[in-house]
Amino acid sequence: MPDLLADVAVIGSGPAGYSAALRASKLGAKVTLIEKGELGGACLNRACIPTKTLLHSLALLRSINNAASFGINNGNATIDVNKLRERKNAVISIMTSGVAQLMDESGVAVVRGKARLLSPNHIEIVGDNGAVQTLKADKIIIATGSVPRHLDVPGAESAGIWYSSDVLELKHIPQSLLMIGGGAVGVELAAIFNGLGASVTILEIMPRILPNEDAEVTPVLERALKKEGIQIFTGAQIDRIETLADVKRVHFRCGEAGKTLDAEAVCVAIGQKPFFEGLGLSGCGVKAGTRGIEVDGHMRTSVPNVFAAGDVAGKSMLAYVAMAEGRIAAGNALGGNTPMDYSAIPRCVYTPIELASVGLTEADALLKGLKIKCLRSNMAANASATIQGERRGLVKLIVSENTRTLLGAHIVGAGAAELIAECALAVKMGATIDNLQQTLHLHPTLSEAVWEAAFGMEI
């Protein structure tokens, strides 16, 4: 006989896991959530929340030190790394406590331990103390997340090489840092350590940083990063990492030219890979590969009563996508038939000036053979941006010439993460540029930049 019984068992308590557990409980199921580490997963403890907490503190520092330009006399502020770390940890603690409270109030049983599937309905749970329990569940949702991809070059596994999962402990602020990877995570971490006083260099293998974003907006962010003192090498192929007495030496090539750079620390941020090691998937017929656990459009795996959601499913490794997938998986596990919709997923890079986007880039649209018009507005002409003293950036809208529907939006500048929600809703609903034009926007606001861009197309 099993030690525990549940209608739905969820493995992993990150955004996908806790969203699935809450949804299943709301639908009336008896739910058990299994977690081997911290509640909230990587997003809450080691990624989204700590990075944004640190970036907010650094934004306050910039505002204080720029106060004189707003008519406020103030001495230069400095960073107290210990207090910065304390505040980061306090925010994480508040958020993890919130997840625990939600589980408790929703009647979700939380079991601590490492899970392994014994069959499509049975899970072995090994606790921290070595105690073993078995759980029988009608439906299982796997939401075990992802781990950083490791760099496959000589020296990449030597002591002192940082990865994005542990770099935010802030145990030491290096004088110099080489960031290998110019995607969203690498760029955000580069901005953090630059703000903390390190001399930062980004090495990106693609022709430009943030290669999946629109080619017109990324140069605006790149110029802003360089103005902050961050060096950027693109087309950089890493050959090896050498450990010297006091520094790490990275050997790389840009084209045919071999180069070396020395730094006190090296951080690798080249993406994530789905994590399902030790779950016993193959033994009970759940198919998985390098891209994650195989799921259909309803988050169902190759075993009908087993579902997967979040990074482990490998579809779109973003916390809010994981939340949506978790809710979809839970609903379908309990008799629903709702497909997951990936058609209008917003993205953002949280840097001193943010970059946010949704839908098609200009290159995407042209590759599809669509007839489009690109509409633009410059943040320098926006009254609110001028008042705030941050006039860098632009809004770019991708519009179908035939249907006048909004196909994509790309924003770089102050508040881009908040501005993109309006555009995401418009893309999701198939709104036309006329709809945007006819929607009044407050004045003065940053959101007027979206409105102004919309008026680039004739009524």
Residues annotated as catalytic are 443
d(CA 249, CA 53): 31
CA-to-CA distance for 347 and 239, rounded, in angstroms? 31
Let me know the angle formed at the C-alpha of 78 by 74 and 83, rounded to the nearest 5 degrees. Answer: 125
432 touches 398 (CB < 8 A)? no
**H-helix or E-strand containing 399?**
strand 393-400
The Cα-based distances of 283 to 3, 33, 185, 308, 333 in angstroms read 21, 22, 35, 16, 21
Report the DSSP beta bridge partners of residue 178: 201, 266
Q: Exposed (0-12), middle (13-18) or buried (19+): which is 336, by Cβ within 10 Å? A: middle
List CB contacts of 132: < 8 A, sequence separation 6 or more.
124, 125, 126
Q: How far is CA 33 from CA 18, 141, 321, in A?
A: 8, 10, 20
What string of DSSP letters covers 49-80? Answer: HHHHHHHHHHHHHHHHHTGGGGT---PPP---
d(CA 191, CA 228): 9
β 132-142/306-308 pair status: parallel
- What are the backbone dihedrals phi and psi of residue 114, each rounded to the nearest 5 degrees, phi first? -95, 130
Query: Residue 268 corresponds to which tokens in the numbers above?
Result: 């690798």
Angstrom distance (rounded) from CA 365 to CA 407: 8
Separation CA 210–CA 202 (nearest Å): 12
